[in-house]
Structure 1
Amino acid sequence: MQTFRTAVPTDAPRCFEIEAAAYSASEAATLEKITKRIAGHPQGFVVLEVQSKVIGFINSGCAHEVDMSDDDFKALIGHDPDAPNVVILSVVVDPAHHGNGHSRTLMREIVRRMIALNKQTIHLMCKDHYVPLYEKFGYRYSKLSTSTYGGVQWHEMVMPLAG
């Protein structure tokens, strides 16, 4: 059985463990950033549990003006919980649980929660090979990003939620 819940501070070490297993060292968020994201925007940090164990999470921040190349935003610098635009920072599933649709359910859950909070858009950056996947989730390709976070080329995607 899977359940979703808002992250709490004690989830940070497990979330960091999953992040470190899923991303390269240059791309993974640090334990400090994950802890700050949980504290700074808990309503945008959702964990997925299977049999009472955290196996994945999605986290975000909110901004009035979205600048996907702003690396400071990954530390929630400039985050405003009342802003209308959501920026996904990580979607991560423990590699031992890949292939079971958990990323899709996390994406659906964050959309549901952000609609309930009356947000207008959700933005994310992804690698080239994930563009078709996010298009299936309802995101539109925006542009090649100027961000080179982690030494990687990123693509910007957006999903309108309102109007």
Structure 2
Amino acid sequence: MKIIRTAVMSDLDAVASVEAECFPPAEAATKEEFAERLRYYGDYFWLMFEDDKLIAFVDGFVTDEKDLTDEMYEKASMHNENGAWQMIFGVNTLPAYRKQGYAGELIREAIRTAKNQGRKGLVLTCKDALVPYYTKFGFQNEGISGSVHGNVVWNQMRLVF
């Protein structure tokens, strides 16, 4: 049975482990960064479990800043509970569970939460290959992001309510 819930500090090891399997080291957040993120915005982690195993998660914080910047990945304290925009920093699904719609379920949950909280919308960055995937949820490609995270070219995608 699959369940979705927000994160608590005891999820730290599982979250860091899934991230390490999903992203190359230059792009993956560290366990220490996740500890800070959970401390400041655990309620903005949407975790999917199969029984007791974490199989996928989406995380990000809320801010009044319009664009996603590299500084946001590093400074969890920039989270602003009353911010206008829900940022999405990571969409992670363990390789054995991909192509089954789990990431989509979590993205829709993040969208629902942001809408229910009265945000203006959501912002994320992605590589070229994922632009069509995120457009299916209503995100619009705003072009190349200012992010140089992991020495990769990122597109900034925005979903406005």
Tell me, in whole angstroms, the C-alpha distance in 1 between the residues paired with 2:51 and 2:139. 30
TM-score (norm 1): 0.94
Of residues 99-108 and 71-80 in structure 1, the stretch that sits farther from structure 2 once superposed is 71-80
Q: Deviations over 1:18-53 (max 9, x none)?
A: 100110000000111111111111221111111232
Q: Deviations over 1:42-81 (max 9, x none)?
A: 221111111232111111111112232x222113242211
For 1:77-92, what aligned pairs fall within 5 Å after superposition?
Answer: 77-92=77-92
Q: Which runs of 5+ in 1 are unaligned?
A: none
What's the counterpart of residue 11 of structure 1?
A: 11
TM-score (norm 2): 0.95
**8 Å contact from structure 2 (residues 21, 94) kept in 1:** yes
% identity of equivalent residues: 29
Question: Does 2:41 align with 1:2?
Answer: no
**8 Å contact from structure 2 (residues 6, 46) kept in 1:** yes
Name the SS for the 1:15 alignment partner: helix
For 1:1-163, what aligned pairs fall within 5 Å after superposition?
Answer: 1-68=1-68, 70-75=69-74, 76-161=76-161
Tell me, in whole angstroms, the C-alpha distance in 2 between the residues paired with 1:96 and 1:60. 24
Tell me, in whole angstroms, the C-alpha distance in 1 between the residues paired with 2:70 and 2:147. 8
Tell me, in whole angstroms, the C-alpha distance in 2 between the residues paired with 1:77 and 1:6. 18
The aligned amino acid for 2:118 is N
**8 Å contact from structure 1 (residues 37, 45) kept in 2:** no
Runs of 4+ in 1 over 3 A off after TM superposition: none
Tell me, in whole angstroms, the C-alpha distance in 2 between the residues paired with 1:77 and 1:142. 26
How many residues align? The count is 160
**8 Å contact from structure 1 (residues 123, 158) kept in 2:** yes
Name the SS for the 2:146 alignment partner: coil
Q: Deviations over 1:89-139 (max 9, x none)?
A: 111011121111111111011111111211111000000000000001110
Name the SS for the 1:146 alignment partner: coil
Tell me, in whole angstroms, the C-alpha distance in 2 between the residues paired with 1:50 and 1:116. 26
